[in-house]
């Protein structure tokens, strides 16, 4: 589903590579934690998958497509296959929960009848039924992250990328979010999560890929966080 073949990325004007000859293969339906110190290259790894950045050397494949050869007009369609969730939720503050999730479908041209049917279903899945009429500011942090996950998942993407999704949440709330991501993964969505949350990585015992200075230094199934 995601394949890095000897991928290096050096940002313009930088001497050091943000990623250095990275080889990774992630199968459909896997759950993978991406760990490593600040600046080790996790966000760069995720940006390459979304084609927000291009590899300087090597090849990145997503669902069999070589992203280096993808025409720019095909990028939006490719990104629709990937849901994204971030630490800071990124909800539209003036729209209700329902409108936030519906918006993700409107922008890709889904008909109103589909939107009306699908949005309540996904809100129930994430545990937010009854809260569709609220604004983001009327929700807790954990609930806001559930809205963000609903929005990322409503289009049933093949891949869900989560960049520090529990970074702003307390431990108990974080566990709830991880249960939700686990459920989404069990529905055959490939989940790739960058995190500094050692407790969660140690509890979940999923595949762990560790980056250090842009290099993969560990790729372990049922791994632990493993560094301080
Ligand atoms: N747009 C950019 N221009 C130049 N250098 C960049 C850019 N983005 C990242 N870098 C550099 O690339 C390296 C890897 O950064 P990256 O953001 O991928 O790390 P990270 O592991 O995601 O860090 P964090 O955990 O703090 O988010 C760092 O040395 C960083 O300074």
Q: pTM (2 decimals)?
A: 0.94
Average pLDDT over residues 146-166: 96
Mutate to test the pocket of ligand 1, among 4, 9, 14, 52 (most ligand atoms within 8 A of CB): 14
Mutate to test the pocket of ligand 1, among 22, 35, 37, 41 (most ligand atoms within 8 A of CB): 41
CB atoms within 10 A of CB 52: 12
The tokens of 70 are what?
A: 């993808």
Residue ranges per structural domain of the chain: 1-81+157-222, 91-156
Contact indicator for 50, 225 with CB cutoff of 8 Å: no
Q: Is the pLDDT of residue 47 over 80?
A: yes
Q: Is the pLDDT of residue 228 over 70?
A: no
Contact indicator for 177, 149 with CB cutoff of 8 Å: yes
- For residue 21, the Cα-to-chain-centroid distance in whole angstroms is 22
pLDDT above 90 as % of the chain? 97
- Candidates 1.10.357.10, 3.40.50.620, 3.40.50.720, 3.40.50.300; correct CATH number of 1-81+157-222? 3.40.50.300
Distance 129 CA to ligand 1 centre (A): 38
């Amino acid at each position: 589903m995601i394949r890095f073949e000897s991928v290096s990325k050096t940002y313009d004007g930088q001497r050091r590579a943000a990623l250095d000859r990275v080889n990774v293969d992630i199968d459909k339906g896997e759950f993978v934690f991406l760990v490593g110190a600040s600046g080790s290259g996790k966000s760069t790894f995720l940006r390459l998958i979304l084609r927000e950045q291009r590899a300087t050397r090597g090849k990145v494949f997503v669902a069999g497509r070589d992203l280096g050869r993808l025409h720019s007009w095909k990028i939006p369609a490719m990104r629709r296959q990937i849901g994204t969730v971030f630490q800071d939720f990124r909800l539209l503050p003036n729209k209700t929960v329902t409108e936030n999730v519906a918006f993700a479908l409107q922008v890709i041209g889904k008909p109103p009848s589909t939107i009306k049917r699908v949005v309540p279903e996904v809100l129930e899945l994430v545990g937010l039924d009854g809260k569709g009429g609220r604004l983001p500011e009327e929700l807790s942090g954990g609930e806001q992250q559930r809205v963000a996950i609903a929005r990322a998942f409503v289009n049933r993407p093949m891949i869900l990328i989560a960049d520090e999704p529990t970074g702003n949440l307390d431990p108990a709330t974080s566990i709830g979010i991880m249960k939700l991501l686990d459920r989404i993964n069990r529905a055959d969505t490939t989940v790739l999560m960058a995190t500094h949350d050692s407790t969660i990585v140690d509890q979940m015992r999923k595949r762990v890929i560790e980056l250090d200075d842009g290099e993969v230094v560990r790729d372990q199934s049922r791994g632990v966080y493993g560094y301080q």
